[in-house]
Amino acid sequence: MSQKNVQVLLANRPHGWVQESDFRIIESDLPAVREGEVLVKNQYLSLDPYMRGRMNASKSYAASAELGQVMVGGTVGVIVESKNPAFQVDDAVLGYLGWQQYGISSGKDLQKLPKSEQIPLSAYLGVVGMPGITAWFGLMRIGQPKPGETVVVSAASGAVGSVVGQLARSQGCRAVGIAGGQTKCDYVVQELGFDACVDYKGDHLAEALAMAAPQGIDIYFDNVGGEILDTVLEQLNAFARIPLCGRISQYNATEPYRMRNFGSFLTNRVTLQGFIVSEHLEMWSQATQELSKLVTTGELKYRESVAQGLEHAPAAFIGMLKGENLGKQLVKLF
């Protein structure tokens, strides 16, 4: 009898907010592993905001997910069958095998992972993986922080934002987070060590931000776009830098946000640069090494929100887009 696989397929292209009914969960037979291939048992699936963009048919920097196909996504897992001499059974691997329990791969898209007590496999999807590297690249290479500067980051308690603020502190900067709710703000300041955090769901964001960043803002690491970006633009210092990382406030919007404070770019001689971390693979190894060292020494802290079981991935994904996660959102598959 062939082995069973559980997969989550893209069933509909959502207009506005994603619904659980936009996904379909199926059980299928795993095909036999052919010469040169490996079978990976995925331990964790990463849920990331970019997946919302893949559900659309519109043109973007990456191709859309196809209707009826397995949803795309990063995974960490263990080789359970190998017909490829480069991989042994029990090797831990990082891959892009999607929302499914098992994946078959030629090995080209797999990266072997070290097994370490201090850095669990799940961290390669978060703090020392793609989101952590995004923080590292955006802040260090685009933001170019200098001691004494003020760095503000939105979605500050999340996978990327939590690393941005801690790296900013390590560079001698004042780190100010923006996050939704007091619990997240307390976590950002008390556990992650940011200097301050502003709850954007409270009243008077502009006043609260001005109090948290009294010297003005030199770097704004933007994860959310929309109204928060507009508010920050009014408080930038001359020659401020904006690594434009994400626009999560707009991913489910049906009407585009109309920016008010565009003039700040000129009056403050602002440099804004959008970036896609997967286009900078040449620095992934350096970033992973540096982040791993900081995690090992305890200087870089992180949390994970873990949904149990693949059948809960759609709800966890929607929850993450709504801010129900604290830290990196994962699904544990086994």
Q: Can you give the binding site for ligand NAP, defined by CB under 6 A? A: 48-50, 131, 134, 154-155, 157-161, 179-180, 184, 223-224, 228, 245-249, 275-277, 320, 323, 325, 329
Q: What's the closest the beta carbon of residue 189 comes to ligand NAP, in angstroms?
A: 14
Nearer to ligand NAP, 55 or 78 (CB): 55
In the complex, least distance from residue 224 CB atom to ligand NAP, rounded to whole angstroms: 4
3-class DSSP assignment, residue 226: helix
Q: Give strand ranges (E) for 180-246.
A: 196-199, 217-221, 236-244
Closest to ligand NAP by CB, 39 or 208 = 208
* Residue with smaller CB distance to ligand NAP, 43 or 249: 249
Angle among Cα 143, 145, 148 to the nearest 5 degrees reads 145
Tabulate helix, strand, coil % of the chain (nearest 5). 30, 25, 45
CB of 178 to ligand NAP, least distance (A): 7
The tokens describing 218, both together, are 């030199």
Contact (CB, 8 A) for 184 and 157: yes
Let me know: does 247 contact 276? Beta carbons within 8 Å. no
Q: Following DSSP, what letter does each residue of 62-95 receive, concatenated?
A: SPPPPTTSBPP--EEEEEEEE-STT--TT-EEEE
Question: For residue 176, what are the β-bridge partners?
Answer: 152, 196
Residue 248 CB, shortest distance to ligand NAP, in Å, is 4
* Closer Cβ to ligand NAP, 106 or 285, answer by number: 285
CB closer to ligand NAP out of 77 and 129: 129
Q: Which is nearer to ligand NAP, 265 or 275 (CB)?
A: 275
CB of 243 to ligand NAP, least distance (A): 9
Nearest to 179 by CA among 140, 153, 148, 204: 153
Give the nearest distance from C-beta 216 to ligand NAP in angstroms. 21
